[in-house]
């Protein structure tokens, strides 16, 4: 087995060339992306990197090649930045980029496809029902709790940052929850609710060398870890070290690495998980391939616990920028 990802590697900022930090974009997560990108840009510049802001909503991607950029740090979130489409464009431009490649990005962005891969690999994820566009009639929708029980979660399968998500407590709430999710995605994912402790675990590196960072335990007011509590509220508690027993922390890290490798992720990522209180079972919820890098973000928090500062983390991620087939 190869050694774990080397966080102490020597990196020459000048050798990285002219760098574009992609931020903003057109997704529902534009506001968060601008916050992430601004932080990354400042961090890279502080390390001596020739880094520049680039908003794909304002400039065509071809300008990256025309302006002589050597590599790209992707600080975009959601569709058009995290779903494989941008990665495919950068592959065609032959511009190395941070994070996962085309296929892993596309699969991880789709929570339903992610679940199918994980189940095929024997990895635990909550039970679910997928409602497709022709299945949103009231009779079909209100029958979902008969399969999954109550409460349950309704969400768009291809959005992030808790956008369009609802916790449904009763049959009468199903229709409104499905309608909200359908505003963001033609498909609607209904998922078994896992009552317990919300956890997240970042990963750095690729393949067998990938390394899981310390687990973060999330304590949101009333268990409501929504968009506001993720990015703007100071009421959410984040615990790193997590306070979990060592064997549970290790199991969360093991499952996270297995989930990351099963999807073919590289560079970095962050798994969201739940630890069910009734039996201490751990369930994988989703994999983020372009996690937030804001002041409230969890990857920098976990990295600090591992002895990796924000500026160093950004430099490490940039140094890993590559292509799906870098040998061409």
Residues tagged active-site: 29, 161, 231, 270, 272, 286, 288, 292
Q: Which helix (H) or strand (E) holds 119?
A: helix 111-120
Pick from 81, 140, 135, 138: nearest CA to 106: 81
Please name the residues in contact with 150: beta carbons below 8 A apart, sequence gap of 6 or more.
Answer: 168, 169, 170, 171, 193
Q: Judge contact between 147 and 93, C-beta under 8 A.
A: no
How open is the CA angle 265-37-74, to the nearest 5 degrees?
30
CB atoms within 10 A of CB 308: 20
Dihedral, 98, 102, 108, 112 alpha carbons, nearest 10: 170
């Amino acid at each position: 087995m190869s050694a774990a990802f080397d966080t102490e590697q020597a990196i020459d900022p000048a050798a990285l060339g002219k760098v574009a930090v992609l931020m903003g974009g057109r997704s529902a997560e534009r506001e968060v992306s601008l916050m992430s990108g601004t932080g990354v840009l400042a961090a890279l510049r502080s390390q001596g990197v020739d880094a520049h802001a680039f908003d794909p909503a304002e400039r065509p991607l071809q300008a990256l090649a025309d302006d002589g950029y050597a590599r790209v740090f992707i600080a975009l979130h959601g569709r058009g930045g995290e779903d494989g489409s941008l990665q495919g464009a950068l592959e065609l431009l032959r511009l190395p980029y941070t994070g996962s490649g085309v296929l892993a990005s596309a699969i991880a962005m789709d929570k339903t496809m992610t679940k199918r891969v994980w189940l095929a690999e024997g990895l635990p994820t909550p039970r679910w029902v997928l409602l497709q566009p022709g299945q949103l009639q009231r009779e079909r929708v209100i029958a979902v709790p008969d399969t999954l029980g109550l409460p349950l979660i309704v969400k768009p399968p291809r959005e992030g940052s808790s956008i369009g998500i609802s916790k449904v407590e009763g049959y009468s709430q199903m229709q409104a929850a499905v309608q909200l999710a359908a505003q963001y995605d033609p498909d609607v994912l209904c998922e078994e609710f896992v009552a317990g402790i919300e956890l997240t675990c970042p990963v750095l590196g690729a393949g067998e060398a990938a390394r899981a960072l310390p687990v973060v335990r999330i304590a949101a007011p009333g268990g409501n870890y929504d968009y506001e509590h993720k990015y703007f509220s100071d009421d959410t508690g984040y615990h790193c070290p997590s306070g979990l027993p060592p064997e549970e922390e290790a199991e969360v890290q093991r499952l996270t690495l297995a989930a990351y490798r099963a999807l073919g992720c590289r560079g970095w990522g962050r798994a969201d998980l739940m630890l069910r209180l009734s039996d201490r079972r751990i369930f994988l919820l989703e994999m983020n391939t372009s996690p937030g890098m804001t002041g409230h973000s969890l990857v920098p928090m976990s990295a600090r616990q591992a002895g990796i500062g924000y500026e160093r983390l950004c430099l490490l991620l940039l140094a890993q920028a590559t292509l799906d087939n870098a040998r061409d």
